[in-house]
Amino acid sequence: MPICIPDQLPAAEVLRNENIFVMPESRAAHQDIRPLEVVLLNLMPKKIETENQILRLLSNSPLQVNVKLLRINHRVSKNTPQEHIDKFYRDFEKLRERNFDGLIITGAPLGQVAFEDVYYWDQVKEIIDWSTTHVTSTLYLCWAAQAALYHLYGLEKQTREKKLSGVYWHQTKHKHNPLVRGFDDAFLAPLSRFAHFDSNLINEETDLKVLADNPEAGSYLFASEDFRQVFITGHPEYAADTLHNEYQRDSQEGLTPQLPENYYPQDDCTNPPCATWRSHGHLLYNNWLNYCVYQITPYDLAELKPKSDNILK
């Protein structure tokens, strides 16, 4: 089944060119089914690029998914045309009273900024709190995972001295858990962050279960037992050249970044990189949609129950 997105969203043409089934809202209105309703809170500067990446992973499922794009501030973007944001993104006030099957909160380039210094921090906290009563399962990506650990569990930010960048092997834990169903014993995933996620700390200080990690990089995937909170600390949605573009950008800005690990053939940045994580990324999002959303959410979203109150404050 397809994802359902606005008729003129740039991602529609990109995905159709990749032979991915995309259904415009005008056609979906005539479908006599109950699609999943998913909100994407996109905090990345290059919003169109991130839309394409996330929607690509959501599309590879037998479930029909309606996607709503959410914004939480009205500052003029330096990296995305304002007309695109005004046309396709909705304000939180227009969604606040509704229930949704899923919510995805992306990362943001804020790894070295204190949470309280992020100008939209209050809005992020508000949406995280709102999700506990209005969303079946919330997927936190990279910076959002760190933010949710801090807000919900009181875990202070752990920051690495050097940015972690590259493609890393991760070990699958709890192999019978639905979120990692079908995973290999070890799999590759891109990382790009200053944050460190200590698996021992997460296991000891929260009710979350670590499902995949790397000895050097820390936790990659962890979730609550009821799957209503799912955390991914890497970027399975990245295209083959995303880490390359980040490396080039940081180099041009004089930041002397380290070469992304296990990424370029022969560790030569003039060699085109290839994606070695696509199948894992599609499987992870497929498992989230199926086991954490579709299998749990009520048919009538008005019957959605608040999340359990075992979150530490």
> Treating both helix axes as pointing N-terminal to C-terminal, what angle do 10-17 and 47-58 enclose, rounded to 10 degrees?
50
> Treating both helix axes as pointing N-terminal to C-terminal, what angle do 47-58 and 278-287 enclose, rounded to 10 degrees?
70
Rounded CA separation 170/43 (Å): 26
Rounded CA separation 185/98 (Å): 39
Decide if 269 is catalytic. no
Annotated catalytic residue, options 142, 246, 280, 292:
142
Annotated catalytic residue, options 37, 49, 51, 237:
237
Q: Which of 65, 55, 50 is nearest to 101 (CA)?
A: 65
163 is in an annotated binding site: yes
Annotated catalytic residue, options 235, 246, 280, 292:
235
308 is in an annotated binding site: no
249 is in an annotated binding site: yes
Decide if 235 is catalytic. yes
Q: Which of 38, 94, 100 is nearest to 304 (CA)?
A: 100
Decide if 237 is catalytic. yes
Give the CA distances from residue 103 to residues 70, 198, 213, in Å, rounded to whole numbers and listed in that order: 10, 25, 23
Q: Which of 128, 101, 99, 126 is nearest to 311 (CA)?
A: 128
Give binding residues as ranges: 163, 192, 249
Catalytic positions are 142, 235, 237
Give binding residues for substrate as ranges: 163, 192, 249
